[in-house]
Amino acid sequence: ANFVPGHLTLTVNRGETVHLSMLLLGSEKRDVTWKYNGNYHYMTHWNEMVNRTAVLTLENVAIANRGIYSASYMGDTPLHGAWMRLIVRVCPNRKWGPNCDKECPACVIGYCMETVLCPPGFDGDALRDRACREGMFGRSCQQSCGSDLNCKGLRFCLPDPYGCSCASGLVWDSLFLLLLPACPNDMYGPDCKLSCKCQNGFCKRFSGCTCPTGWRGQSCEKPVPDWAPQILELEGNLEWNLNSTPKIFCSATGNPLPSHNSIELRKLDSTVLKASRTIMDSNKSTAVFEIPQLNAQQGGLWECRVSTNGGQDSRKFNLTVKEPPVPTTVPTLLEKKSKQLLVLPGDTYRGDGPILFTKILYKPEKNGNSWSSIIVYSDKKPITLMNLEPSTRYHVCVQLSRPGEGGEGAPGPETIMETDCPGSLFSFQGCPILHKIVTKIIHSAAPTMSSLPTDCFVYVVKRGHQTTNGHARDNQIKYEFSSAIYLPPMGHLKKKILTSTQKFRGSCRLFSSSCLLCVVEPTVQPEIDISSVEGRNATVRWRLPANSGVNARTASGFLVQLYGPPPHSEKLQEETTVLNVLSTRFHNLEYQRDYTVVVRLVNCGSQGPPSKPYQFRIHSQAGTAAGDNYQLLVAVVGSVTVTCVTILLALLALFFIRKMLLNRRRTFTYQSGSGEETILQFNSGTLTLTRRPKPTPEALTYPILEWEDIKFEDVIGEGNFGQVIKAMVKKDGNKMSAAIKMLKEFASENDHRDFAGELEVLCKLGQHPNIINLIGACENRGYLYIAIEYAPYGNLLDFLRKSRVLETDPAFAKEHGTASTLTSQQLLQFAVDVATGMHYLSDKQFIHRDLAARNVLVGDNLVAKIADFGLSRGEEVYVKKTMGRLPVRWMAIESLNYSVYTTKSDVWSFGVLLWEIVSLGGTPYCGMTCAELYEKLPQGFRMEKPKNCDDEVYELMKQCWRDRPYERPPFSQISVQLSRMQEARKAYVNMALFENFTYAGIDATAEEA
């Protein structure tokens, strides 16, 4: 640049005369052009320049004159020139107010507004009360330059009307383009514009005149009389915790100002406490007192005393010492599981309240070097200890805390709590009963757990009789009993004296020197009753005998084993289920091969007797079940039986047909007001519109449920216009769980039409394992209720988000190195299930129109089922003509632009759903509005690949999001591609915790659009 401005900004009052100056760096004798806001304003001839400075004079400035002024040589580019800004106040000098009719208070420097606005580096009201000390600047002296810079080289700008200036005590050297380190003699302030004129004392370039003791005033011209100190700030009641380190502040003013040794704390017992440090400002001194390791004797009445040459002042305050609370009773164990303990803290404690929070401390009895803890802000509710080790003893104690520093008390008394065996088991822990049984171990060397057998028969006799255990491997262990507790397989406890002929079947381990741990071995044999084959996947179901008495006390679950064909009968797969799940699914089996399944109960490692082997075969065509010969026989017998029954029923048909029509069928018909429908068809990217008459609506017949046969239970889902309630329904004499869908009272006509449309779709679709199937419907008091299959795991979106274990249980995530409780195979299976269900829908020529993770339910065995058919249509092409709520983030381009829906638009939605699965329930296009989607999707914008997603899966997403509908893959092809991925057993969705792992964003408000 060839110029340097005299000021970066200049603030003036309206009506004043201002001189704008530019310093020339070169010695060229050329004219200077001035521009105002980029337009030519004035020219300074080179002969008019003095000391190489070009000056532009503006007289009687007005608001119109404020703006940017620049100077450059005539004909040069503006980049070689310089700029400055002129700020013009609305009011004239020393006037303010809406009409500029109010007088400003007197001030040495500053800008007149409602009150005086001090420039950077000063603080005060009417007169300049004080300037910033060295190293500080800004309004009210709140900003610091830092010890290294010391404000050298600092020029800063603040909002109008301050503008830009140097820091206090510095001046801008236009010639050398730097800030000089000091002001000239007798000058101070920003840009060194103010004069000290000190009569006493000396001039400090930051704050002006520094007066010696006894003098005051702007020029130190007035003597200062001494006056007594006065305590300004001190609380009357202070409360601190025992053993804490309280800090007590006492502030005082006076002349002279109280010094460090002038302020002290005194107690009635003559204890004197000196200040640890004192902060001295221009008008007050603040002493800080610290009491290390506060004890009870230091509580009571204290006094802050200030003494100077001007006099003395004192003020009393009370210091209360609070004792942190310490529990006096051990916590109570309310419930235990294999990995959890439900603990209730004790009610009593010594010390002072109130209780701020309760901390449960726990660690394993063995190898427990450090305590783990859980903090809850309640002392009355039970606390659950999670992620524990099964069959492990833990030290547990409680620590309480009250408000304030050092408010955490010492831990209370410890107790021992023990987790259950894996699953829900029948076991004795802590020996509350068995310590009455086993009174003495005769053998001197106590056996270890590893030396005991898995299963043992324990002979129990009366006191005074000794016997060896009947098991060959355990014949050296001898016990003496005084009484016994009989443990039958049912798990019921009966205290009695046993004879030598009675025995207990189960797993026993020596738990301590005087304690046995015994677990009942299951004795019930499950019965496999059916299997179903779908492609290369087989589902096996079983049941327990009636009145078997099996419950969570006698068994923890089922072990299902799959074997190959004889003679080798190699074990191929093994699955476990919890006790209330009576089915499992085997995936990717081989065609034309026989399989055998065996099911047995398990309980804490003990296995019950196996079921009878069940055989089935995977044929080349999916859906052919095992046991063809048996089914052929059933079919023949069934045909004969049906023929006979038909002849008998024909005689009764004339009498009951009318009643059957009324009670077991109901017609529900609706149609739109228009007699025509618009058909849009895509052909090589061309959009063709035709019209055809609408077909006559057919009567809709659905299976009836009686109102009395529905027993409502809990609300499991609710939206703006409808809700879903779990219920027990009775159909054809059988009771089953169901989800009842119903509309709310204020639902619109469109909502009722869509709801009836969903019932129509469910009736026409029939049954399929990957869609939510219809159970029946009921009409009561003018309201329609639809009963569908109950999915115990809820919708897929919530299920995916709950699996984000890094958010719900970070300790578990880091321990196992995983970001989800779901595996890559399970996530891929969800996609396969949905693709299979959509293939079935497309074969039926149904368009879903609202395919998203929130509309997919997770049933037994984590089978995904498509649901929510409220927007579905049984047409090849559907054109929406009504205004309703739209799932914009899942809609294809042609649906957004033309309101056209086809199976290909469902394919687009499936791509978004696949992205939801991979991202564990992220919000599509998170951070974007619907308006942005309308604009950017036709331009080729698509969602980025999730970091944990394989390229092959993302390529399938992009195929679903192609612009031209006919270029998108059909659901049959998508289903095949995903099935092949699953068979490859590759981690297509990486759930490992890699570096910088983050979950996809969730925006609940955006999902409503």
In 3D space, the residue among 471, 483, 587 whose CA is nearest the CA of residue 539 turns out to be 587
- 435, β-bridge pairs: none
CB 35 within 8 A of CB 84: no
H or E, element range at 631: helix 628-664
Q: Where are the beta strands (DSSP E) in 477-605?
A: 478-481, 484-486, 494-496, 503-512, 515-520, 527-534, 537-543, 557-563, 571-578, 583-586, 593-603
- How is 805-823 classified by DSSP, letter by letter? HHHH-HHHHHHHTBS-SS-
> Does the annotation list 146 as a binding residue?
no
Measured between alpha carbons, how far is 126 from 138 in angstroms, rounded to an integer? 18
Question: Does the annotation place 721 within a ligand binding site?
Answer: yes
| 366 appears as a binding residue in the annotation | no
Token pair of 951 as six digits:
């390229």
Q: How far is CA 926 from CA 797, 875, 910, in A?
A: 15, 32, 18
Q: Check whether 741 is labelled as a binding-site residue.
A: yes
CA–CA separation, 670 and 761 (whole Å):
13
Can you tell me the distance from the alpha carbon of 610 to that of 47, in angstroms, rounded to the nearest whole number?
Answer: 114
Inter-residue long-range contacts of 950-956, CB under 8 Å, 24+ positions, other chains counted: 950/986, 950/987, 950/988, 950/989, 950/990, 952/981, 952/988, 953/914, 953/918, 953/981, 953/988, 953/989, 956/911, 956/914
- Residue type, position 517, single letter: L
Cα–Cα distances (Å) from 1004 to 718, 896, 943, 1007, in that order, read 15, 21, 18, 5
Enter the tokens of residue 595: 């399989």
Instruction: Supply 469's token pair.
Output: 């255990």
Tokens of 938: 């036709």
Using CB atoms within 10 Å of the CB of residue 943, give its burial: 0 to 12 exposed, 13 to 18 middle, 19+ buried.
buried
**Residue 724 is labelled as binding a ligand:** yes
Q: Whose CA is closest to 205, among 217, 213, 193, 216?
A: 193
User: Does 535 carry a binding-site annotation?
Assistant: no
**Cα diameter, the chain:** 132
CA-CA distance, 617 to 891, in Å (whole number)? 42
Q: Is 464 annotated as a binding residue?
A: no
20 alpha-carbon distance from chain centroid: 58
| 861 belongs to an annotated ligand binding site | no
* Of residues 925, 785, 803, the one with CA closest to residue 852: 925
850 is catalytic: yes
Q: How far apart are CA 496 and CA 11, in angstroms?
A: 103
Instruction: Check 352, 850, 906, 950 and give the catalytic one.
Output: 850
**CA–CA dist 138, 145 (Å, integer):** 10
- Report the distance separating Cα 711 and Cα 731, nearest Å: 12
Q: Which residue has the tokens 């001839």?
A: 45
Amino acid symbol at 507: S
Residue 719 is labelled as binding a ligand:
yes
Q: Is 524 annotated as a binding residue?
A: no
Counted residue by residue, the chain has a size of 1009
Q: Residues forming the annotated binding site for Mg(2+)?
A: 855, 868
Catalytic residue positions, numbered: 850
Q: Residues forming the annotated binding site?
A: 717-724, 741, 854-855, 868
Q: Residues forming the annotated binding site for ATP?
A: 717-724, 741, 854
